[in-house]
Amino acid sequence: MGTIKQGILGGFSGKVGTVIGSSWKGISYMRGQAQHVKNPRSSGQMDQRTKFNLVLNFLQPNVPYIRIGYKSQAAKQTEFNAAMSYLLKNAVTGSYPNYALDYTEVVVSKGGLTQVTGAAVNWTAAQSKLTFNWTDNSGVGNALATDKAMPFVYNKDKNETIYNTSGATRTTHTMDVTVPNNWSGDKVEVYLGMVSEDGALVADSLYLGEVTLASA
């Protein structure tokens, strides 16, 4: 119970309801009682944190790519947050606590630029390189000959990525990506996006599959 020392208009010490009165250097003050959160680690909170950390772990090493890949999606939010939101809604599979990314549903670039067609990837062990191939569809929709390839290779065993945000042109229809020697034997998830020459437009990335980097 609080105690009033100087009448009804004076300060008080102690607790009255949810208000606590005290003084410091002769100055009376009041503060609200701290609110205690019941069960701050509820099942719902833990479920959401687990999903969030899964997607965060995937996206954090790839911020420069995501800034370009989700540029057109960043209305009233950052490119990173737009990517987080999309992947949380569309690419997380499983149930708590065993969530995983469905790499077939992951989109690393998203926008209105026309995608390439006939895209595929091949592994050449002797040269430690992945070769991307696609069909030149310049002139279809808003596709231009000067559009640039944006290959994205994610090593899920090491949580490392190799990417390029200004690769070969759409008309070149092929591009090599060399991978580190210590990736030999690992499995990688492979994607191909496109970006206009001025960086204003990007295409939805295409998932080209999982590739095992078998040794020569």
> CB of 108 within 8 A of CB of 190?
no
Whether residues 29 and 110 share a domain: the answer is: no
CA Rg value for the chain: 27
pLDDT tens track, the chain, 216 positions: 555 555 545 555 666 666 666 665 555 555 655 555 455 567 778 999 999 999 999 999 999 999 999 999 998 899 999 999 999 999 999 999 999 999 999 999 999 999 999 999 999 999 999 999 999 999 999 999 999 999 999 999 899 999 999 999 999 999 999 999 999 999 999 999 999 999 999 999 999 999 999 987
Q: How many CB atoms lie within 10 A of CB 71?
A: 18
Q: Where are the alpha helices (DSSP H) in 28-114?
A: 43-59, 63-69, 79-90
Number of domains in the chain: 2
- The answer to whether position 5 is within a domain reads no
Whether residues 107 and 128 share a domain: the answer is: yes
- The answer to whether position 4 is within a domain reads no
Query: pTM, whole model, 2 decimals?
Result: 0.80
- The answer to whether position 2 is within a domain reads no
Whether residues 31 and 95 share a domain: the answer is: no
Tell me which residue range forms the domain holding 53: 43-212
